[in-house]
A and B are shown apart, each in its own frame.
Chain A
Amino acid sequence: MTDEVRVYVEEAPSQRREVVAPTDMALSLMEVLKASGYDIQATCGGMALCGTCHVEVLAGPALDEPSDDELAMLESLPVMTQGSRLSCQIRINNRLDGLVVRLMPQNT
């Protein structure tokens, strides 16, 4: 078992960037995406309170069900899709290898 996983960010249709994330640091996907240079505000610092780290999961392994707090935040956003998640609530672990996400726009 390796101590890192690969997550893919779809930056445009058919254009995916690989992001390598360590599994032994208890990071969230939001923290990994920020550290990889993505423009994520994460205003609340990872408490599922601001919705500024909204991503859409496009493919990959099944994730744990979102908590009520995460769902409540997602439902208050203008756009929510079947794959909507708050990246701050997704913990990086070995089961996430191959996850594909897209950053959701904060405003239209």
Chain B
Amino acid sequence: MTNSISTDICIIGAGPVGLFAVFEAGLLKLRCHVVDALPQVGGQLSEIYPKKPIYDIPGFPDILAGDLVQNLMRQIEPFHPTFTLGERVERLAKLEDGSFQLFTTDGTEIFCKAIAIAGGLGSFEPRKPAVESLENYEGGRGVYYMVRDPETFRDRRIVIAGGGDSALDWTIFLADVAKEVTLVHRGTTFRGAADSAEKVQKLHEAGRARLVLSSNVTHVHGQDGLEAVTITANDGTTETLHVDAFIPLFGLTPKLGPIGEWGLELEDDAVKVNTLDYSTSVPGIFAIGDINTYPGKLKLILCGFHEAALMAQGAYKYMFPDKRYVLKYTTVNGVPTL
């Protein structure tokens, strides 16, 4: 069944700038729905450096990235935004009345009057190893870049590749679920959590998971779906394993993704905007934060906050061209609720 959502502004990207856009839109009594490809809010701040201190947020001599996200979530609480997390907006359609319909990867559709793209560096996508024809086995045909539902692998033969915490953690977890688990790692040691590395070693010694070091998965084979992988050791020897699933876990990297195909004017993979209101070349679509570009652009969180404030006013005028907008200071009026 399709999940259908109706809102005033759909904000694409739940990073700090997207979250603050909810606040600025909320001051204008606009409802927001936020979509992000990652399963949690915070964008880069949550995904990459939650423990990194940030020093250039006004009013905070220093604040951990993760704490900034928490504060932003608290700040937007009065406006009751709704979220679709773990889904990427794939496609959009402009409707006759100037509003929009958005479609996500998981079939959610969002009807909105305006769109604010706050996509940062784009959506975070899995880093893929250099294995020929790997893409032929994506989409449920044997190659998985993340473990959404461990039950997918119950009683199946799987090969995990990678040397980070994800590879170790899922090897440990799936050893109890899958029929056979093999972890292939390029190096000889794991610098991830020592405890996890030790657990994997013990599973290997107990015969409950197999550990193949100094090796890479170099080939994938199969007709209609994945049937086998070839593992090549650093000394050149090879081994072909019959498997049902291959899970390369090499972390995430940001990509512009489908935003690049929405007909927006771009420059060097960034969306060109008018700094009057951060509108794009498509009326009703705005772009704020690291995803946009204009003369003098600075990729700073605080600049994104400024852009969010002007964008909200621009979006308001787009939605209600006949209504007069009067700036209200929160020091005078407090924070209204929706």
Contacts and interface: CB of A to CB of B under 8 A. Distances in A.
B65 to A, nearest CB: 10
B191 A51 contact: no
B251 interface: yes
A80 interface: yes
A72 B48 contact: no
Contacts of A52: 253-254
B164 interface: yes
Interface in A54-108: 68, 71-72, 75-80, 106-108
Contact of A76 (B121, B250, B255): B250
Contacts of B190: 75
B248 interface: yes
A108 B49 contact: no
Nearest to B268: A39
Contacts of A72: 164, 191-192
Given A41-B121, A50-B48, A76 B128 contact: no
Interface in B248-285: 248, 250-251, 253-255
Contacts of B48: 43-44, 49-50
B150 interface: no
Interface in B44-78: 44, 48-49, 52
Contacts, number: 67
A73 B121 CA distance: 20
Residue of B128, B162, B250 with highest tally of chain A CB at under 10 A:
B250
B187 interface: yes
B127 interface: yes
Interface residues of B, number: 24
A78 B163 contact: no
B28 to A, nearest CB: 32
A106 B251 CA distance: 11
B130 A79 contact: yes
Contacts of B121: 41, 43
Contacts of B125: 107
A75 B128 CA distance: 14
Nearest to B190: A75
Contact of B163 (A49, A75, A107, A108): A75
B336 interface: no
Contacts of B129: 78-79, 108
Interface string B156-195: 0000001110000000000000000000001100111000
Given A50-B48, A78-B127, A107-B255, 9 more contacts: A43-B48, A43-B253, A44-B52, A49-B52, A51-B251, A68-B191, A78-B128, A106-B127, A106-B253
Interface of A: 41, 43-45, 47, 49-52, 68, 71-72, 75-80, 106-108
17 contacts: A41-B121, A44-B48, A44-B49, A47-B49, A47-B52, A49-B49, A51-B127, A71-B191, A75-B190, A76-B250, A78-B127, A78-B250, A107-B127, A107-B253, A107-B255, A108-B128, A108-B129
